[in-house]
Amino acid sequence: MVAKSIISRPVYGTLSPQPGKHHLFIADAEGALAIAEIAERAPPGFFDDSEIVFIPGPDGKHIAALEALKPAQFHQAPSFASLLPRLRQTLANAHMGLRLYLSGTEGLIGQAMQVALEAGIDHTSIQTEHRGSLARRMQCVHCKGITENVTTQPATCAHCGLLLLVRDHYSRRIAAFQGVCINAEDRSEIPPMEEAFP
Please check whether the domain covering 22-130 is classified as CATH 3.40.50.80.
Answer: yes
Q: What is the pLDDT of residue 6?
A: 67
Q: What is the pLDDT of residue 124?
A: 86
Burial 33-42 (b: 16+ CB within 10 A, else e): bbbebbbeeb
Q: Are 101 and 26 in contact (CB under 8 A)?
A: yes
Q: In degrees, to the nearest 5, what angle opens at C-alpha 175 toward C-alphas 59 and 155?
A: 70
Residues of the chain with pLDDT under 70: 1-6
Q: What is the pLDDT of residue 16?
A: 96
Domain ranges across the chain:
22-130, 136-195
Helix (H) or strand (E) holding 138: strand 136-140
